[in-house]
Amino acid sequence: MTLDSYVTLGRSGLRVSPFCLGAMNFGEEGGWGCGVEESEKILQTYLDRGGNFVDTANFYTNGHSEAIVGDFFAARPGLRDRVVLATKFFGNMHPGDPNGGGAGRKAIIAQVDESLRRLRTDYVDLLWLHNWDPHTPVEETMRALDDLVTAGKTRYLGFSNTPGWYTAQATTTAVLRAWTPVIALQVEYSMLARTVEGELIPLALDAGMGVLPWSPLAGGYLSGKYSRGAQPEDTKRGAIIGGPSEGQYPVIDAVAAVAEDLGVTSAAVALAWLRNKPGVTAPIVGPRRLDHLFGNLAALDVRLTAEQITTLDEVSAPRLNYPYDLNRQTGPMLQFGGTTVDGQPSIVYPPLLESATRY
C-alpha cells in the first residue's frame, strides 16, 4: 500500500490518505518540535509520496504550526487545493479573554478567522472541535459550525476528545435539524490507549464517522526507542513527559518482538496494528524529523499475521468502563440461549439448566 491508496473519510465523499500528517511538531515553541526548514522537508516528502491529508490546530506551537503550513502552501501556487487541510478550534490564544476559546459562536467564528489568516487560505477542508465545552449548548455549537460550512469557510466537520454521549447528542442534533453532520472523530488510540473501544469506536461505526487516532505511538513509547534497562535515545519530548511505566513494558516488549520477527521497526508494527482496527481511517503521524516520517510510513508495507495480531491484542487488552465489559461478558449468555449468533457462541444461563421449565 502507498499513501495514494486513498480512502473515504467516514460517511462522506472526502478522499484521504491512509496516514494523515500531523503538524503538532511544526515549530519549536512547545519545547520539542522542529524548525521551519525541517517542517517543510517533512511536508514536501509526505506530499511527494502521494499523501494528501495534513492536520494542525490553532494553538499548536502558539500558532506557528498553522503559519508554517500556510506559508508552505502559499509559496506553491495551486498546491493548496490539491490537499485536504484540517485544523482545530477551541484553544484560547488570548489570555484574559473568556471568549477567546471554547465552542461558543463568538469564539468559534473568531478562532476560525484567525486560523484562516495564519493558514493563508480562504477555507479548510475539515474543521475539528478540539475538546468538549460544557459551558455552551450543543445547539449553539452545531449551528455555528453549520453556518461556517454555508459561508464556505470549511467543507466538513469533525470532533476530537469529546465524550461519547456528547458526540452522539451533537450528531443527532445535526441530523434532525438538517445541519452539517460530524463525519470524523479524532481520538487518542494506540496499543497503550485502547479505552476508546468501549464507547467512541462503536459510536463512530454506527454513525458513519471515520476515526483518526492521535498519538498512535503513545507519545513515542511504541516507537522502539524504549526498552527495559536501556537509556533511550532521541527523547527530546520524552525528557518533558517522562518515560513508560513498568506496566506498559509488556506491550512495548511484545511489539519489539514482533518487529524483530518481521525485520521492521516497532513503530511500523504499532501503526500497522492500528490501521487494521475497526473504524480506523487514517492514523495521524506527527514526525519531528524526516527520518521519523520514513520510519512511520514503512508501516504501509507491514503485513501482520493473524497470530501476531492476536498476540498484540491480548497483551494490550484494555479494561473498559462499565457497562461495556459487563455487556460483553453476560450479553450472549442472557440472550442467545446457548446458540451462536453472527458468529458469536454462547452458553445457557446456568440457573436455566435446572429451572427452565419450572414456571
What region does 162 belong to: left with phi over 0, alpha with psi -120 to 50, or beta? beta
Q: How does DSSP classify residue 356? A: T
For residue 64, give every residue at least 6 positions away whose Cβ sits within 8 Å of its Cβ, in sequence order, or none: 26, 27, 28, 29
SS (H, E, C) 167-191: HHHHHHHHHHCCCCCEEEEEEECEC
Name the H helices within 198-237: 200-207
- Grid cell of 251 as nine digits: 506491550
Count, in order, helices (H) and strands (E) of the chain: 13, 10
Q: Phi and psi at residue 216, in whole multiples of 5°? A: -65, -15
Cell of 312: 498484540
Which residues on adjacent β-strands are paired with residue 89?
129
CA distance 98 to 94: 8
Q: Measuring CA to CA, which residue among 154, 163, 173, 171 is closest to residue 108?
A: 154
CA gap 41, 354 in Å, rounded = 71
* Cα 40 from Cα 71, distance rounded (Å): 10
Residue 247 gets which letter from DSSP? G
Residue 221 designated active-site: no
- DSSP letter for each residue of 296-312: HHGGGG----HHHHHHH
- Of the residues 6, 46, 60, 156, only one is catalytic, namely 60
Q: Which are the catalytic amino acids? A: 60
